[in-house]
Structure formats: C-alpha cells, structure tokens
C-alpha cells in the first residue's frame, strides 16, 4: 500500500488517462496461453469458462455492498474489517482474491485505487476493469500526481483533504466506499445502489446524484 498527497502545480502535457491502448503485455499473454494449451497444462475450454465468468461480472455486486454500508453502520464496520466476509454475508461471490479490503471516503480522506504493476482489481465485485485503469498513464500518474488525475475525472478536492493512493496487488484488492450523496435520505437500499458507479468504487468519481424530487 502506498499513500501520496501531491499538488498538481505544473502545466506540462500528459498522455491522456483514457487512451484505450492495449496493454503491452497482452500479446505475451496470448502467446503464453497458446503454449500452455499446446503443452496440455490447461484446456482451451477452461480458459473460455474463466473468461465467461469474468465478463459476466458487473459493478452491481459492489454497489450492493456500498448501499448496505450506507444504511447499516454495523455492516459497514464488517465491510471495512473484511470485505470478502461481508460479500459472502450478502450471498455475493468475492472471487479468488485472498484479501479484499474495504476503505471509506470521508470529508477528510479520499482513497483512490491503482495497480502500478498490471491491472489487479476486484473483478468479482466490480466486473472487468476499464481500459484506462490498465493504461500506463493512469498507473504512473495515479501515484505521482493523484490530484491531477482526480481533476481529469472531474473530482475536485479541498486542499485539506488527504489523498491516499492504494496500490492493488495479486494478494490484496481494494473496494472504495464513496461518500453517500446529499439528498439521498429516505431512498431504499436498491435505489441507493443505483447511485453507486464503478468509478466511484475505484475512487476516481463521486456517486451519481439522486434525481430531483418533483
């Protein structure tokens, strides 16, 4: 885990976070898959089944966890203590990650998640990671210039808010509990879950605002 708090006080150009380029490792992964299949280490059907499982996942399960945490302080405490166990409590599949850590954004602290080495990510709870999460610009600048990255995503924080950058690994994945939106009092848990976006659970966005009443 790494924690950084930097100001974005320079104006030199950056590569865009959302460039959508294929990761450099992708061709190597495909070549490795072909070799493993050829040697009989894995079956192509197993690879396809795993891919089908991955693409079937969505941010909806993570949103359910966040919504329950917003309405149930005791559950939020359990989610912050052990997100895997909290997911199982709701009948959700937390995936194969040995440790899933829940972190809470507050008025004083804002968390954002990155994987500086590749694209480690709680896929079971959030679905496949977005292309920008896997891109080199995001993986490098989230650490060196987190406030600048957040600003590009439309998140402007006061100077006294501490920014904590969490480096996801093969052993530890993170789920951000964003701040509950103003004006959401009285909403049902299901309605609250609809406000929780994938990007807000990565920490680069705020949840959606409730629809105006009337």
DSSP secondary structure of 32-93: HHHHHHHTTSS-HHHHHHHHHHHHH--THHHHHHHHHHHH-HHHHHHHHH-HHHHHHHTT--
62 or 95: which carries more pLDDT confidence? 62
The Cα–Cα gap between 125 and 3 comes to 24
Catalytic residue among 2, 56, 97, 118: 118
What predicted TM-score, i.e. pTM, was given to this entire model?
0.77
Summarize the confidence of residues 158-184 as an average pLDDT. 96
Active site residue 184: no
Which of 11-15, 23-27, 42-46, 191-195 is least confident? 11-15
Active site residue 151: no
85 pLDDT above the threshold of 60? yes
Rg of the chain, C-alpha, whole Å: 18
Quote the percentage of the chain above a pLDDT of 70. Answer: 80
CB neighbours of residue 81 within 10 Å: 11
Cβ atoms of 153 and 100 closer than 8 Å: no
Q: Which DSSP symbol is given to 214?
A: -
115 pLDDT above the threshold of 80? yes
Active site residue 58: no
The Cα–Cα gap between 174 and 191 comes to 24
What is the architecture of the domain spanning 26-202?
Answer: Alpha-Beta Complex (3.90)
The residue length of the chain stands at 214
Q: Which pLDDT score, from 0 to 100, does residue 13 have?
A: 55
Catalytic residue among 119, 135, 168, 200: 119
What is the average pLDDT score of the chain? 86
35 or 214: which carries more pLDDT confidence? 35
Question: Of 156, 159, 153, which is closest to residue 205 (Cα–Cα)?
Answer: 153
Catalytic residue among 97, 115, 135, 200: 115
Catalytic residue among 120, 135, 168, 200: 120
Point out which residues pair with 102 in neighbouring strands: 175
Question: Half-sphere exposure of residue 60, counting CA atoms within 13 Å on the CB side?
Answer: 8
Q: Which pLDDT score, from 0 to 100, does residue 50 have?
A: 60
Active site residue 119: yes
Question: Domain-by-domain residue ranges, the chain?
Answer: 26-202
């Amino acid at each position: 885990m790494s924690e950084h708090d930097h100001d974005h006080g320079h104006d030199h150009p950056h590569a865009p976070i959302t460039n959508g380029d294929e990761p450099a490792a992708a061709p190597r992964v495909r070549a490795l898959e072909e070799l493993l299949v050829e040697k009989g280490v894995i079956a192509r059907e197993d690879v396809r089944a795993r891919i089908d499982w991955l693409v079937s996942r969505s941010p909806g399960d993570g949103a359910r966890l966040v919504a329950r945490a917003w309405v149930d302080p005791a559950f939020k405490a359990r989610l912050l203590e052990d997100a895997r166990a909290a997911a199982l409590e709701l009948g959700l599949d937390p995936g194969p990650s040995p440790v899933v850590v829940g972190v809470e954004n507050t008025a004083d602290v804002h968390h954002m998640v990155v994987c500086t080495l590749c694209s480690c990510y709680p896929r079971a709870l959030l679905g496949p990671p977005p292309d920008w999460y896997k891109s080199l610009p995001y993986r490098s600048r989230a650490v060196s210039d987190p406030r600048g990255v957040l600003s590009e995503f439309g998140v402007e924080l006061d100077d006294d808010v501490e920014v904590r950058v969490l480096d996801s690994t093969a052993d530890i994945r993170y789920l951000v509990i964003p701040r509950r939106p103003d004006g959401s009092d009285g909403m049902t848990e299901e309605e609250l879950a609809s406000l929780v976006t994938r990007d807000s659970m990565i920490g680069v966005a705020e949840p959606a605002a409730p629809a105006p009443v009337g």
